[in-house]
Amino acid sequence: MNPAMDADAAPLSKAGPLAGMTVVEMAGLGPVPLAGLMLSEMGADVVRIERINTDRAFLQLPDDFNLDRHGRSILRLDLKHPHGTELVLRLVEKADVLVEGFRPGVMERLGLGPDNALARNPALVYGRMTGFGQDGPLAGRAGHDITYLALSGVLHAIGAKGQKPLPPLNLVADYAGGTMMLVTGVLAALLQRAKSGKGQVIDAAMVEGASMLAAPIHAFMAAGLWNETRGDNLLDSGAPFYDTYETGDARHIAVGCLEPHFFAEFARLLPLDARFVGGQYDKELWPQMRAEIAAKVRQKTRDQWAEIFDATDACVAPVLSLAEARRHPHNVARQAFVKAGRLDRPAPSPRFSRSPTFAAAPPDERAPAPSVILARLGIAESEAEALVKSGIVGQ
């Protein structure tokens, strides 16, 4: 059975690789909440700090579907009150990690910046996520995934030849260049702390994370194997054997047979004229090759092509919708999707052989009261109840 079981069946005590670690997550948008979710599902005890009066003008989600709140203990605090920020610092004294995604200077103005936090807990790993980094001329500028992706140069490279750049959802800067770089930094800093006993600050910038993801493309350019014309290269839909094609039922297949022996198998099953097999990498042949592939692919439906290529190494796959992906036989066999409340979602990744992860559950009526959460972190129940009554801690 997949260790990332149904969230409703997950044990109360986590056994993931980060079991015993405490993370303070300052609530925000995008990549930091996903990092909090991942750390939680790896076993960390994540305490999410939300402001008492915060309204999001868009993307309002019920708790069942709001992954930003799954798997956490949630504390709503008045961070404009000195007792509210002092409470966060007292939590930091007990924590291993703090992650935040505010603009540079916000945490400092709240009295929660790295200097104050590390003074309370020198072993703290303090993870900071921004679009542009903690310094530089754009550090204080607002932006979103598409902004950071544009300034990394990566957005320019994505899209069909002769067409405008196409944003790949918000996956590249927000979640790959942001979340994954932040989590990587946190885990590396925890490993280093095991040697030194000292924490440190992680400055994760989404524009730099997105750039790092494109490091191999920069190397290809330096070697003369890539040019800056969009849709004219091996991996950007420029090659006819690395692209998507419309099928007879107006759906699509993805073709990715880069290696000659995979391309030969693809050509045999399509079938494709033999002259293209010997000239796979002859760019003069690519327009004719593309036209013939497109014409052949339109002769059958997507699922007919999927059946033809299913047991082969031709590197052809049906382009599935998000809903279809949950039902694909391989994903079903791997239990790659799980249920968290009413939400069908991807299972936690990666998987661990000795310390399994568990899909985080949404908050519900069984969620611990603020006084219980604070007591668990060393704050007396009587004091916690007084903080609730005063309005510094929200119910």
What is each CA distance from 107 to 110, 129, 236, in whole angstroms? 5, 12, 40
Question: Which string of DSSP letters, residue by residue, matches 173-195?
Answer: IIIIIIIIHHHHHHHHHHHHHHH
Nearest to 298 by CA among 335, 331, 250, 262: 250
Residues 6 or more apart from 148 whose CB is under 8 A from it?
A: 131, 132, 173, 177, 206, 207, 210
Could you tell me if 73 and 50 are in contact, meaning their C-beta atoms sit under 8 angstroms apart? no
Residue 156 backbone phi and psi in degrees, to 5: -60, -30
Q: Distance between CA 339 and CA 328 in Å, rounded?
A: 16
Nearest to 251 by CA among 289, 321, 302: 302
Nearest to 13 by CA among 356, 352, 339: 356
> H or E segment at 382?
helix 381-390
Catalytic member of 68, 145, 174, 236: 174
Q: Distance between CA 116 and CA 219 in Å, rounded?
A: 41
What is each CA distance from 93 to 49, 125, 188, 190, 332, in whole angstroms? 15, 11, 21, 16, 43
Q: What is the 3-state secondary structure (H, E, C) of 338-368?
A: EEECCEEEECCCCCCCCCCCCCCCCCCCCCC
Q: Distance between CA 225 and CA 222 in Å, rounded?
A: 8
Could you tell me if 170 and 196 are in contact, meaning their C-beta atoms sit under 8 angstroms apart? no
174 catalytic, yes or no?
yes
Catalytic member of 6, 144, 232, 328: 144
Q: Distance between CA 319 and CA 301 in Å, rounded?
A: 12
81 catalytic, yes or no?
no
Q: Distance between CA 56 and CA 59 in Å, rounded?
A: 7
Classify 73 as helix, strand or coil. strand
Q: Distance between CA 101 and CA 91 in Å, rounded?
A: 18
Say which DSSP state 331 is in.
Answer: H
User: Active-site residues: which are they?
Assistant: 144, 174
